[in-house]
Structure 1
Amino acid sequence: MVCQLLMFFNRVKIDVRSLIIGITVIIVLSIISMFLGFSSVTLSGLLAGDEHSFLVFFQTRVPRTIALILSGASLALAGMIMQMLTRNRFVEPSTAGTVESASLGILVVMIFAPGLDVILKMLVAALFALFGSLIFMFLLRQIPLKSVLIVPLTGIMLGYVIGALTNGIADQEMLLPSLQSYLFGSFSMVVEGKYELLWLSLPLCLVAYLAADRFTVAGFGEDFSSNLGLDYKKVMLFGLVIISMITATVICTVGRIPFIGLVVPNIVSIVMGDNMRRTAPFVMITGAGLVLSCDILGRLMSRSAEIPVGTIMGVLGSVLFIALLLKWRKRLG
């Protein structure tokens, strides 16, 4: 079995040593996350069979850590796919109107079917996210792309329009505070029984990885893809469906976490190149590590009232985004 895995990694040119180091870092961050918090949980208490420690550890800390890993890994991979499909490094679900469209879907559920099951709620949010992504792709075809910055600016403007519509309707229905708290991007309320939807992101990431070569070819454009016998439109739709479902899954569970899908693929690309088959595992590991680090930082900065991951990632992501813009500007100039 080990030999088969090594042969697979060698075939797709995955750096096994770097992969092991990355997984080790995730394990270390996960252990820190599981033993960090307002309630004291110690290894000695768990080994001694302390009931309170067992309750806190297995019903809150473990689910929270799993949710952090799944959210970061899936959002990073979704951003990587979107960057390939749009052929632009500065695009991800939160800069393409996808997140805002999913939020509108959640608002529609809150108004018309507040008791809807979480799976059905996710599917509604995914449909709205897919519709918003299709609008974004349609706009890109209509606008002359004279600069790489036109693409994210178009997505950001589309997101503002959809977000304004969402907030306006929510305010009219007196649901704005509830919607904002729902989309806050915090893992503090993640407990056993409230995060399991995120496991759906795992098969979605696996399917995306299996289709990595198709996404890579589609990233060269419609003409190039057609010459190689690839159905460009089907691959585009398939990729957008995966992106929409991952986005909806994360939003329905923990809310918005910006910039993960933007900065992580760029950082990995700078180090390892643009081969999705080779870099996708490292994108997922880096995304998971970044979200875990932000959550740990939020708990260390304020032990009594932790700072949400979405807030920390918003600040950190914007700084990294500007740094990436400056770097690519120098490279293109």
Structure 2
Amino acid sequence: MTRTRTRPDDAESTGGTASVRAGDGTASTRPVGTPRKSAAGTKSSLIGWKLAAGIVGVLLLLALSLLTGVYDVFGGDGGAEMFQITRMPRTIALVLSGAAMAMCGLVMQLLTQNRFVEPTTTGTTEWAGLGLMLTVIVYPDASILARMIGAIIAAFIGTLVFFLFLRRISLKSSLIVPIVGIMLGAVVGAISTFIAVQTDMLQSLGIWFAGSFTSILRGQYEILWVVALVVAAVFITADRFTVAGLGKEVATNIGLNYNRVILIGTVLVAIATGVVTVVVGSLPFLGLIVPNIVSMIRGDDLRSNLPWVCLLGIAIVTICDLIGRVIIMPFELPVSVILGVVGALVFVALLLRQRKRG
């Protein structure tokens, strides 16, 4: 008996439907013979009045961030200088960190084929904090660049460890995968706490994981521009991540180097997580909330969703930061507190929604 293998492109000329596995591991079908979206169609879906309205809305939020604060930058002495030293750097940091961490969540969800995965549910953030602490212990006078490198290396190692664990798990349900990541993160966090207690750095560890934009000042945040390169790299490699999200077998059959794409994604996530952890701290659940909301509203078209993921990530971080600034003014709540509450509620809601769908 001769077995005939049909290439993915051959399905266009046959009847029936073609099965496509989505990012969460579920299967969907589309009528075979339906033409794939053309480049012009993709461009039109990227640029439209809705996206323009979204950009305007985010710009208004950023303008509100520039105007919010205890110090009167318009009528006070040295207001213009204070505006340049604190308000502008803080707003730029909101943009860069929000877009980068939201994009990291999207990349990790594609590579793991699970919608409940992001840096804080895989232990990547805890590994970055451990790397930052070890760097400071070894080199007490380490510069921000040296601390960033230490955090990136540890985050890269931690993400690889998570992927290795994932490959050895026989039951890869949508709930098991994030549980494994959270357990790994808890172990790494316990190790970090033990080392911090032994080296009298427990207070510093708490500050690093606070996730606050209060200390963002001119001259101390510029290294955060590195994550802009990560966002650009994700845009460039979006199609490869999409194919890798269909699984190793499918990606290999169409000629994609699956392991190389996984490595590229791991490097990008490690860089963004390490830099944001050093400069801002932990932003819990941001990479979980944003891709899921965008996917529920717009579907799973990755390339057309990328601008929306960036915009929504910036918007959520900015709103949480504004709430933290005004809720107990003149004091501030760390943005991680607000994000943690909102993210936990969304996480539980997504779990219940997934359970109802079976």
Q: Among residues 71, 81, 96, which one is paired with 1:39 in the alignment?
A: 71
TM-score by length of 1: 0.93
C-alpha distance in structure 2 between counterparts of 1:154 and 1:146, whole Å: 10
Deviation at 1:9, TM superposition (A): 7.8
2:67 counterpart letter in structure 1: F
C-alpha distance in structure 2 between counterparts of 1:246 and 1:18, whole Å: 28
2:64 counterpart letter in structure 1: I
Task: Check 1:112–1:41 CA distance in 2 against 1; reply closer, same or farther (3 A cut).
Answer: same
In structure 2, the partner of 1:127 is 153
Q: Is the 8 A contact 2:117 2:178 kept in 1?
A: yes
1:29 counterpart letter in structure 2: L
- 1:79-129 deviations in Å (ceiling 9; x for gaps): 000000000000000000100111110010110012122122211111110
> Does the alignment pair 1:54 with 2:80?
yes
C-alpha distance in structure 1 between counterparts of 2:230 and 2:185, whole Å: 24
Structure richer in helix, relative to its length? 1
Q: Is the 8 A contact 1:73 1:284 kept in 2?
A: yes
**Which structure 2 residues correspond to residues 113-262 of structure 1 after superposition, within 5 A?**
113-262=139-288
Q: Is the 8 A contact 1:272 1:279 kept in 2?
A: yes
C-alpha distance in structure 1 between counterparts of 2:270 and 2:40, whole Å: 29
Q: Among residues 89, 92, 97, which one is paired with 1:66 in the alignment?
A: 92
Q: Is the 8 A contact 1:264 1:286 kept in 2?
A: yes
Deviation at 1:244, TM superposition (A): 0.3
> Does the alignment pair 1:298 with 2:321?
no
Deviates more, 1:198-207 or 1:176-185: 176-185
Q: List gaps (5 residues or longer) in structure 2.
A: 1-38
Task: Check 1:15–1:223 CA distance in 2 against 1; reply closer, same or farther (3 A cut).
Answer: same
Larger radius of gyration: 2
The alignment of Structure 1 onto Structure 2 pairs a total of residues equal to 320
In structure 2, the partner of 1:272 is 298
- 1:6-64 deviations in Å (ceiling 9; x for gaps): x878537325212111111111011111111111123xx4xxxx752101111100110
Task: Check 1:274–1:72 CA distance in 2 against 1; reply closer, same or farther (3 A cut).
Answer: same
**Runs (4+) of structure 1 moved beyond 6 Å?**
none
> Does the alignment pair 1:76 with 2:107?
no
Task: Check 1:180–1:282 CA distance in 2 against 1; reply closer, same or farther (3 A cut).
Answer: same
Deviation at 1:198, TM superposition (A): 1.0
C-alpha distance in structure 2 between counterparts of 1:30 and 1:56, whole Å: 17
1:130 counterpart letter in structure 2: F
1:203 counterpart letter in structure 2: L
1:321 counterpart letter in structure 2: F
Task: Check 1:176–1:8 CA distance in 2 against 1; reply closer, same or farther (3 A cut).
Answer: farther
Deviates more, 1:321-330 or 1:100-109: 321-330
Q: Is the 8 A contact 2:285 2:343 kept in 1?
A: yes
Task: Check 1:12–1:197 CA distance in 2 against 1; reply closer, same or farther (3 A cut).
Answer: farther
Deviation at 1:183, TM superposition (A): 2.1
> Does the alignment pair 1:27 with 2:53?
no
TM-score by length of 2: 0.87
Deviation at 1:322, TM superposition (A): 1.0
CA RMSD of aligned residues (A): 1.4
Q: List gaps (5 residues or longer) in structure 1.
A: 1-6
Deviation at 1:196, TM superposition (A): 0.7
In structure 2, the partner of 1:14 is 46
